[in-house]
Amino acid sequence: MKAILFTKYTKIILFTKLMLLSLLVSAQEETETPKLEFSGSIDVYYRANINGDNSAPNGIPNAAPGSSFANLPGFALGMANIIASYQGEKVGFVADLVYGPRGTDAIFASPIYSATGNIINQMYAYWNVSENVTLTMGNFNTFLGYEVISPSANFNYSTSYLFSYGPFSHTGLRADFTLSEDFSLMLAIMNPTDVTELNLDGNYAYGAQLGYSGQFLNFLLDDGAFEIDYTGGFDFSDNFFFGINAAYYDGGDNNPGFAGVALYPQLDTSENFTLGLRGEYFVEDGSFGAIGTSVADSSVFAVTLTGSANIGSLTIKPELRLDSATDDSAYFLDNDLVPQKSLSSFLLAAIYSF
């Protein structure tokens, strides 16, 4: 009798152990199995000109810096950004949607086929062919420049002239190669820049990027236009970072161009607060329209001082900005709507990332 009871008891113990082991393996498999993930951000801000008009008839501000995004007066909306992504061992995708004024500016050239507008910032699939080669096809944000569309990934809230007048997005096929521990290479064939829904005329753009230890040299050839761009940065200490962006754009025969350089020193003053400065010099052919003057080879010098305070997932950014042009600019208007050479402004932004 004891033997029978002992055998039954042993079977129960073994069965229990097997069940627990099965549950443990199942839980481990669930943990390791890639899942659909969601992330994104929302941003809002307040902006006021210190020495200029603050009205916006028909929704267009009378006076604002000639760069993209944070140009609306008073309390204003940025964008809601929702990203769905799947990252498998070999394949994956990203669907990046934007809503709001900043999102509309980001996809300005896209609502062509979609008559009601477009909310797609990025939409691409990728295949990790090997440890060193990845192929990506679809719509992706540009590889040129220091800044990006999402404010959660930029230090300064307002954007630079170099970013605003360089490309925003591309649609095409790109191949990324890891050449060594330090070197990387990207090659791409794409539809014309920023027209991301379809190809309108059968022409294609070609891109390349050579990377070395966090420094990137970028090239873009697009229907006779050519741009070369350097983006990089250096950590001089645990608390001090120095970023650099420089670019030259040649629009081709009878088309305007620009050139410029922007420097980004940033200092961590505490665990939750960073102070950063962006100093930028931007020169254009007057017909390019970035500064708002028709004078050839006009330029602007812009200095932006930004503080960044982190409160959990919320980031508060106070910002002072001064734009000073070589010529009276239609974008820089005083309180009497008279053109002036400079414009100073204050901005306070709130960004929540999830």
**Within this chain, do residues 10 and 100 fall inside the same structural domain, yes or no?**
no
**Within this chain, do residues 22 and 147 fall inside the same structural domain, yes or no?**
no
Over residues 30-54, mean pLDDT: 87
Residue 61, both tokens: 């501000």
Confidence of residue 17 (pLDDT cuts 50, 70, 90): very low
pLDDT tens string 246-304: 999 999 887 889 999 999 999 999 999 999 999 999 998 867 777 766 666 788 999 99
Q: How far apart are CA 177 and CA 188, in angstroms?
A: 12
* pLDDT-wise least confident of 43-47, 192-196, 327-331: 327-331
**Within this chain, do residues 121 and 20 fall inside the same structural domain, yes or no?**
no
Domain that includes residue 132, residue range: 34-353
**Within this chain, do residues 237 and 305 fall inside the same structural domain, yes or no?**
yes
**Within this chain, do residues 2 and 54 fall inside the same structural domain, yes or no?**
no
Are 62 and 51 spatial neighbours (Cβ–Cβ below 8 Å)? no
**Within this chain, do residues 59 and 25 fall inside the same structural domain, yes or no?**
no
**Within this chain, do residues 84 and 205 fall inside the same structural domain, yes or no?**
yes
What pLDDT is stored for residue 261 in this prediction? 98
Are 96 and 107 spatial neighbours (Cβ–Cβ below 8 Å)? no
**Within this chain, do residues 260 and 181 fall inside the same structural domain, yes or no?**
yes
Confidence of residue 129 (pLDDT cuts 50, 70, 90): very high
Confidence check: pLDDT of 29 > 80 = no
Q: Which of 47, 42, 46 lies closest to 80, judged by CA? A: 42
Q: How far apart are CA 84 and CA 39, in angstroms?
A: 7
**Within this chain, do residues 45 and 25 fall inside the same structural domain, yes or no?**
no
What pLDDT is stored for residue 329 in this prediction? 63
Contacts of 17 (CB under 8 A, 6+ apart): none
* pTM, rounded to two decimals: 0.85
Q: CB-based burial of residue 269 (10 Å sphere; 0-12 exposed, 13-18 middle, 19+ buried)? A: exposed
**Within this chain, do residues 8 and 47 fall inside the same structural domain, yes or no?**
no
Over residues 308-315, mean pLDDT: 97
What pLDDT is stored for residue 20 in this prediction? 47
Domains of the chain: total: 2
The rounded percent of the chain whose pLDDT value lies above 90 is 68
Confidence of residue 13 (pLDDT cuts 50, 70, 90): very low
Q: How far apart are CA 172 and CA 198, in angstroms?
A: 10
Over residues 237-244, mean pLDDT: 96
What pLDDT is stored for residue 294 in this prediction? 63
What pLDDT is stored for residue 163 in this prediction? 94
Q: Which residue has the higher pLDDT, 89 or 187?
A: 187
What is residue 296's DSSP assignment? T
**Within this chain, do residues 341 and 229 fall inside the same structural domain, yes or no?**
yes
Confidence of residue 337 (pLDDT cuts 50, 70, 90): confident
What pLDDT is stored for residue 295 in this prediction? 67
Mind giving me the DSSP string for 202-242? S--EEEEEEEETTEEEEEEEETTEEEEEEEEEEESSSSEEE
Q: Three-state SS for 249?
A: strand
What pLDDT is stored for residue 229 in this prediction? 98
Q: How far apart are the first and last CA of the chain?
A: 63
Q: Which residue has the higher pLDDT, 298 or 226?
A: 226
Mind giving me the DSSP string for 125-168? EEEE-SSSEEEEEEEEE-SSSS--S-GGG-SSSS--HHHHHS--
What pLDDT is stored for residue 4 in this prediction? 38
What is residue 34's DSSP assignment? -
What pLDDT is stored for residue 346 in this prediction? 97
The overall average pLDDT reported for the chain is 88
Confidence of residue 330 (pLDDT cuts 50, 70, 90): low
Query: For residue 89, what is the domain's CATH number?
Result: 2.40.160.10
Confidence of residue 8 (pLDDT cuts 50, 70, 90): very low
**Within this chain, do residues 59 and 81 fall inside the same structural domain, yes or no?**
yes
CA dihedral of 242, 103, 283, 222, whole degrees rounded to 10? 100
Over residues 51-65, mean pLDDT: 88
Confidence check: pLDDT of 5 > 60 = no
